[in-house]
Amino acid sequence: MQLKDQAAIVTGGASGLGAATARRLAKEGAKVAVCDLNTKLAETVAREIGGVAITCDVAETASAEAAVAAAAKAHGPARVLINCAGIGVAKRVVGREGPMALADFERVIKVNLIGSFNMLRLATAEMSKLAPLANGERGVVVSTASVAAYDGQIGQSAYSASKGGIVSMTLPIARELAQFGIRVLAIAPGLFLTPLLAMLPQEAQDSLAASIPFPRRLGDPGEFASLVMQMVDNPYLNGEVVRLDASLRMAPK
């Protein structure tokens, strides 16, 4: 899909992978709605790229509905949805204080998995009503999974489950929405230098980078955005989950 003048929504667009993706989409000519709970940061990114900032809690029905409507009002119905909103909470199933609170597990599932599905169902409902482009395509969705869906570590039970759900739902949804000319994909990033990792001491960052075979460094959010662009651009790519992890799964023990 050619992005010039096309409307796009990026959730979690105020920082990290989402902000890098919003910037790249805008650079390619898209009209971008930056959706995030952090309104101030979303406004900063939106001003920079000439987009619109929308406060959105992806896990809440009313908030997500309002965000999709506000984006459509500003730019027209979106043909592109990039799901980057998510949280990462590390907690053991059984810790020093006993079992993990069920609410902690539920919160991660609600934001990461249900939130991604919530935005997808709403955005694609509107995409399905659009006139097809020359190649018959009506829209593209790219969600953010994680290598934790395949190689989860201790403390990542909730996070891995949420990202595994994104991996599992990508293909059946792609098959279902093919009738409308809507493609559905996902990216499973490895260790990226997002604000979460940037908060760690340099020694910890270096240790994580050393676990990556090649290139021996943390991923740059711009590299995630580049893969998003390739997915949006290639009309024959559908239903896939692509690992973007510099062969992290092959890291020496």
- Rounded to a whole number of angstroms, the distance between the first and last alpha carbons of the chain is 41
Helix 61-75 vs helix 115-127: angle between axes, to the nearest 10 degrees?
40
In a domain, 252, yes or no: no
Specify the pLDDT at position 227.
Answer: 98
Residues 6+ apart with CB under 8 A from 145: 163, 164, 166, 167, 170, 186, 187, 188, 189, 241
Give the count of domains, the chain.
1
In a domain, 202, yes or no: no
Specify the pLDDT at position 249.
Answer: 66
In a domain, 199, yes or no: no
In a domain, 57, yes or no: yes
Residues with a known catalytic role? 159
Specify the pLDDT at position 253.
Answer: 42
Phi, psi for 52 (deg, rounded to 5): -125, 140
Residue 207 burial class via C-beta count within 10 angstroms: exposed 0-12, middle 13-18, buried 19 and up: exposed
Amino acid at 53: A
In a domain, 200, yes or no: no
Helix 221-233 vs helix 16-27: angle between axes, to the nearest 10 degrees?
50
Contact (CB, 8 A) for 182 and 138: yes
> Mean pLDDT of residues grouped by 10 in the chain (253 residues)?
95 97 98 98 98 98 98 98 92 93 96 98 98 96 95 91 98 98 97 77 80 85 97 97 82 42
Cis preceding-peptide flag for 132 (omega within 30 of 0)? no
Contact (CB, 8 A) for 92 and 100: yes
Secondary structure (3-state) at 102: helix
Residues of the domain holding 184: 7-190+220-241
| Whole-structure pTM value | 0.93
In a domain, 53, yes or no: yes
- The helix or strand, by DSSP H or E, that contains position 185, with its residue range, turns out to be strand 182-189
In a domain, 23, yes or no: yes
Specify the pLDDT at position 218.
Answer: 84
Side-chain-side CA neighbours of residue 104 (13 Å): 15
In a domain, 233, yes or no: yes
> Could you tell me the CATH number of the domain that includes residue 227?
3.40.50.720
